[in-house]
Amino acid sequence: MVKKALITGITGQDGAYLARFLIGKGYKVYGMVRRTSMVNTSRLEYLGIKDKVEILYGDMLDLSSLQRVVENTEPDEIYNLAAQSFVATSWEQPILTAEVTGLGALKLLEAVRLVNPKIKFYQASSSEMFGASPDLPQNESSRFHPRSPYAASKLFAHWMTVNYRESYGMFTVSGILFNHESPIRGLEFVTRKITHAVAMIKEGKQDKLLLGNMAAKRDWGFAGDYVKAMWMMLQQDEPDDYVVATGETHTVREFCEKAFGYVGLDYQDYVEVSPELFRPADVEVLCGDSSKARMKLGWKPDVDFDGLIRMMVDADLKRVREGSY
């Protein structure tokens, strides 16, 4: 029998990669999207799968719509990737962030419990939940110390996922994923902001790049590798939580150095620091210990830091040259 998966957030970076991965595994893929005045399926088009997924309308703010989408699709697996996912915006829209990213996950869990508690449920948790944790590298037992409305909302959703497993015996898992990027990463995130600027500068269409905290350190991997781990978590006999990370951490400055260096430029000639781009509170260093995922799931990343930067710069150069972005 063909397995069915429902993805919330299918128009986002991970939603598109996960949909492609599941289609490759023979799944029937449903994607929930919120109503907007313009359709936003550019990432599905980029990965060549727009016509291979079935779209349904629903919103994380609206429990009745979630319940209807779950009833109408009768999925075996649900991947809850929908969120207000940009940390910086979460200070400007803290309540919306809590409602979509935090309460939205609880609403979806409730919809699953009411419609069919046997559906397997994946929650997109985040390394941001560790925030200012004194533990480094961070694994599943590390202490949480969220540092933004986004991170606090994700922590609520994480604990609700754990609680639905413990209270109702549901197959709910929380994947604590460290930063993962790709050529279809949103332009506001620092990696894509840099690789896009590198391409624009190289092609003579931009002359500088403004950044905030360049000392921040992140454990960056490739989104295509990380969506595999999501699926693997739902194929286990028992539901559990897993950290997914490369185990390497690099500064924003290093990312710049390599991305500009790849096209023969010196980042110091183009990058300026703008105090306006600093956050009210930042997470200074994240580095994940994914031993559990590697041992129990057999997961490992295929793309390394340099490979990721090359992939992103190449894709942005191509788009800038074609005038497609």
Instruction: Write out the residues near ligand GDR by the rule CB under 6 A.
Output: 85, 87-88, 126-128, 178-179, 188-191, 193, 211-214, 216, 218, 252, 277, 279, 282-283
Q: Which of 267, 212, 227, 271 is nearest to 87 (CA)?
A: 212
Task: State the catalytic residue, choosing from 27, 30, 79, 150.
Answer: 150
Q: Which is nearer to ligand GDR, 26 or 280 (CB)?
A: 280
Active site residue 46: no
Q: Which is nearer to ligand GDR, 14 or 59 (CB)?
A: 14
Q: Which stretch binds ligand NDP (CB under 6 A): 45-53, 178-186, 191-199, 263-271?
A: 178-186
Can residue 126 be called a binding residue for ligand NDP (CB under 6 A)?
Answer: yes
Distance between CA atoms of 184 and 149, rounded to whole angstroms? Answer: 25
Please, what is the minimum distance in Å from the beta carbon of residue 175 to ligand NDP?
8
SS (H, E, C) the chain: CCCEEEEECCCCHHHHHHHHHHHHCCCEEEEEECCCCCCCCHHHHHCCCHHHCEEEECCCCCHHHHHHHHHHHCCCEEEECCCCCCCCHHHHCHHHHHHHHHHHHHHHHHHHHHHCCCCEEEEEEEHHHCCCCCCCCECCCCCCCCCCHHHHHHHHHHHHHHHHHHHHCCCEEEEEECCEECCCCCCCCHHHHHHHHHHHHHCCCCCCEEECCCCCEECCEEHHHHHHHHHHHHCCCCCCCEEECCCCCEEHHHHHHHHHHHCCCCHHHCEEECHHHCCCCCCCECCECCHHHHHHHCCCCCCCHHHHHHHHHHHHHHHHHHCCC
Task: Look at residue 311 and give the partner it binds from ligand NDP, ligand GDR, none, a contact being a CB closer than 5 to 8 Å depending on partner kind.
Answer: none
Active site residue 128: yes
Q: Which is nearer to ligand GDR, 127 or 249 (CB)?
A: 127
Task: Look at residue 49 and give the partner it binds from ligand NDP, ligand GDR, none, a contact being a CB closer than 5 to 8 Å depending on partner kind.
Answer: none
Please, what is the minimum distance in Å from the beta carbon of residue 265 to ligand GDR?
18
Q: Which is nearer to ligand NDP, 101 or 202 (CB)?
A: 101
Please, what is the minimum distance in Å from the beta carbon of residue 83 to ligand GDR?
7
Task: State the catalytic residue, choosing from 30, 79, 85, 128.
Answer: 128
* 285 touches 132 (CB < 8 A): no
Q: Which is nearer to ligand NDP, 83 or 252 (CB)?
A: 83
Residues numbered 29 to 58 that lie near ligand NDP (CB under 6 A) are 34, 36, 40
Please, what is the minimum distance in Å from the beta carbon of residue 94 to ligand GDR?
15
Can residue 183 be called a binding residue for ligand NDP (CB under 6 A)?
Answer: no
Chain positions contacting ligand NDP, by CB under 6 A: 8-9, 11-15, 34, 36, 40, 59-61, 81-85, 100, 124, 126, 177, 179-180, 186
Instruction: Please list the active-site residues.
Output: 126, 128, 150
